[in-house]
Amino acid sequence: MKANPVFDAAREVEFRKANKRWDIIGMFAGTTAVALIGVPLYGYFYGFTASAWIAFGVLFVMCNMAITTGYHRLWSHKTFNAHWSVRVFLMLTGALALENSILKWVSDHRRHHGHVDDPYKDPYAATRGFWFSHMGWMLRDYSSAPMDFSNVKDLEKEPIVMWQHKYYLPLAVGLNVGVPLGLGFGFGNVLEMFLVAGFFRLIVTHHTTFFINSLAHIIGRRPWSTGNTARDNFILALLTFGEGYHNYHHAHPGDYRNGIRFWHWDPSKWAIRFLSFFGLTRDLRTATPQVHRRRQKTSHPKDGSLVAKTSTVGVNSSVSSRPAA
């Protein structure tokens, strides 16, 4: 934790008056109740077939990878470029993850990097504790996470992003009903698919992603910067497809990798690199060794460059910049 988060008594009173978001509270309460009560009861009395668990695994990987590679590394930080077909796939599977539209997610995330640990400007400030940074920040209309899209003007020019934002609710609900329903009809186990590949997958996806905002700012090492609460945590990297190297990420947010060593568990990095061999991703950005050394020596108080730019000093393209096919 940061030693002295700047809390102000008068501002705290106003901050805590924020209206409750009953729609969000209801969504979390409903999905959690079905996943934690309905799934074990059904399993105890009837058991589950293998196809339901396979669908759970496939959808869990697809949803989490959409958040890590798409929402986070592609749209929030622009650490690489991607073919439109990859963007459409990530946009759809991201909607299935039910973590809000790309536009809102990225807006919150850029605010997090720009004001990390500030209790009034970081939407999920870890200085407010585990619960607030994990889920609490979404349950009220806090002033630290406003519907202000002035920091995502670049994304407002992207039709795929804006289409998803416009139709987010019907799209997210439609996918979360339609996918388990379609799989259930295909395998003859509709209820099982809804319970395991629908509700249970949703809460596992939610909490593993939320761990990055909470635990990855609380437990772990800080080899790259001690200027903020972000930590490197290998166990979290296993659960979050590579996002656990969060101290490195806050120091070098323009790098398409979070785990930079070849042995670091970072499937998101591997997927982005793998797709580049087929021209489906390109312009992969990495921080140079010189930048690594400089950052290690000085515990810089602020994050590195938030969004990768082709001209950014100290950031280079690690692979060919041929256009995506």
CB 230 → Zn ion: shortest distance, Å?
A: 5
Tokens 């973590």 locate to: 99
Min CB(137)–Zn ion separation in Å: 12
The DSSP call for residue 324 is P
* Between 31 and 127, CB nearer to Zn ion: 127
Minimum CB separation from Zn ion for residue 103, in Å? 16
Nearer to Zn ion, 230 or 272 (CB): 230
Q: How far is the CB of 151 from Zn ion (least distance, A)?
A: 13
Give the nearer residue to Zn ion in terms of CB position, either 216 or 324.
Answer: 216
Coil, strand or helix: which one is 20? strand
Tell me which residues touch Zn ion (CB under 5 A). 230
Least CB distance to Zn ion at residue 100 (A): 15
Nearest 5°: the CA angle 118, 123, 129 is 70
- Distance of closest approach, residue 51 Cβ to Zn ion, in angstroms: 35
Query: Given the complex with Zn ion, which of 197 and 230 has the nearer CB atom?
Result: 230
- Buried b / exposed e along 61-88 (16+ C-beta atoms within 10 A): bbbbbbbbbbbbbbbbbbbbbbbeebbe
Beta carbon of residue 185, minimum distance to Zn ion (angstroms, whole number): 39
**Residue of 88, 99, 115, 81 whose CA lies nearest to 240:** 99
Which residue's CB is nearer to Zn ion, number 101 or number 214? 214
3-state helix, strand, coil in the chain (%, to 5): 60, 5, 40
Please, are residues 264 and 255 in contact by the beta-carbon 8 Å criterion?
no
- Nearest distance from C-beta of residue 134 to Zn ion, angstroms: 12
Q: Rank residues 31 and 64 by Cβ distance to Zn ion and give the closer one.
A: 64
Closer of 68 and 176 to Zn ion (Cβ): 68
- The DSSP code for 323 is P
Helical ranges in 188-280 per DSSP H:
190-192, 201-213, 234-239, 246-251, 267-276
| 153 exposure class (CB count in 10 Å sphere: 0-12, 13-18, 19+) | exposed
Question: Whose CA is closest to 312, among 266, 253, 244, 238?
Answer: 253
- Looking at the Cβ atoms of 193 and 215, the one nearer to Zn ion is 215
For residue 164, what is the enclosing H or E element? Answer: helix 159-166
